[in-house]
Amino acid sequence: MSRDCNCLVEGPRYPDLKSTYIGEDPSNGRYADVTAIECSRCRRLWLKYGFEDEATSRSGRWYEGLVTPDQVEDLAPLDAPALLESLPWHLRGGSYFGGKVIRSSGPLVGF
C-alpha cells in the first residue's frame, strides 16, 4: 500500500479505479450520482457524490471522501452528502470549481 497515493490529492482517477454505482439522489432536482470507488493502486475506498445542472454551464461538481466498506454497504443515496460532511476531510472538484481539486471539510461548498 502506498502511503502517498495520488488519489489522496486528486481522488481516484481512471484507469486506476473500480467503481460501484450506489444510486441516484433526486433531492432538490440534483439527480446526483452516488458511487463507491476503490482506488486500484492503494485499495482505499472513496464515496463520490456528483451532479450538474445541465441548463447551467460550469455547474458540474463532485465530492469524494474516504470511507469504509461498512459505511457504504447499506448507504442510501440520500444520505451520501451527510456522510461526506461528517468525514475529517473530503475532496471537491468539477467545472463549478474551475476544474481544480480542493481539499475541504465540513459542509459541502457549492452544494
Q: Which residues contribute to the site for Zn ion (CB under 5 A)?
A: 5, 7, 39, 41-42, 44
Give whole-number Cα distances, 82 to 18, 85, 107, in Å: 23, 5, 8
**How many other C-beta atoms can be found within 10 angstroms of the C-beta atom of residue 26?**
11
State in angstroms the smallest separation of the CB of 44 from Zn ion: 5
The residue (of 40 and 56) whose beta carbon lies closer to Zn ion is: 40
> Nearer to Zn ion by C-beta: 30 or 44?
44
Which residue stretches of the chain are H helix? 7-10, 69-73, 80-86
CB of 43 to Zn ion, least distance (A): 7
Cβ closest to Zn ion, residue 5 vs residue 78: 5
